[in-house]
Structure 1
Amino acid sequence: MTDVLSPAAGTIRPLSEVPDPVFAAEMVGPGLAVDPTREPQTAVAPITGTIAKLHPHAFAIAGDGDGGIAVLVHLGIDTVQLGGEGFEVVATEGTHVEAGDVVVRWDPATVEAGDRSPIVMVCVLDQPAGAVPADRAGEQVAVGQRLLTWPA
């Protein structure tokens, strides 16, 4: 079993509440969302592994070991349109990270001020929709605290 840590501080939400149909339908993968507190934050690696893809607004980490999971973290909705503005990439694509290591610094309030949702999606890639229960919806979570356990 793998603990998947929260990359942001805020309130846990089911993916079905995300204002993006692809994430809401779990087409990217099952998981949870975090409605972040509106203050500067450091987005951390949710699992130990290798940063397979890294953008200012999103990153994917391939977990270590046989049967390791891959997790996508997406900071906000339509934030790719910001071209990196408001985000500071700290890590490097292709490097190994430990769960809890800082990957990106960002400010959810700045994202929201640009008429975009700052909600953070955390998806387990290549897994069936509905595989992560939303029973923690409404709970507060801190950066680096357990968000979910895989397999659920």
Structure 2
Amino acid sequence: MKKLKLTTLLMGVFMAGSVAAQDLSGLWQQIDDKSGSPKALIEIRKESNGTFTGKIIKVTPRPGYTPQKTCNNCPAPYTNQPILGMDILTGLKHVDGTENYEKGRVIDPLSGKVYDAKVRINGNGKRLTLRGYMGVSALGRSQTWLRQD
């Protein structure tokens, strides 16, 4: 009987560890989903309410592209805000028992559009896929971000 209890306890600990979420906090290289080139360096932090927020800390220079300095077509509170230092990803919440984060919002500072957002982080925590969409996830776009730290 003791052996059965110990086995059950160890299985529970092992299973709980296997579904523990990777922490999104850290530095991520945003990869442009159209060109495949690096776009910006994003710092994701965990807020006191348990959600995650991502801020642009560096815009990556790209050949033939003059970086936009402000979020000109963006709604309040982003209107005319500098892109460097802008929180572009907000409100992401972890989905218990998965590597998924949902119920976030992401703004594209080049177009001024705000999208619903969800994130899936891969098993080793080195790559995440951000899905931005309006209404239905199937009608959105995905970007890959690579962990830098």
- Tell whether the structures are fold-level matches, with TM greater than 0.5: no
- Tell me the TM-score normalized by structure 1: 0.26
The structure number with the bigger radius of gyration is: 2
- Tell me the TM-score normalized by structure 2: 0.26
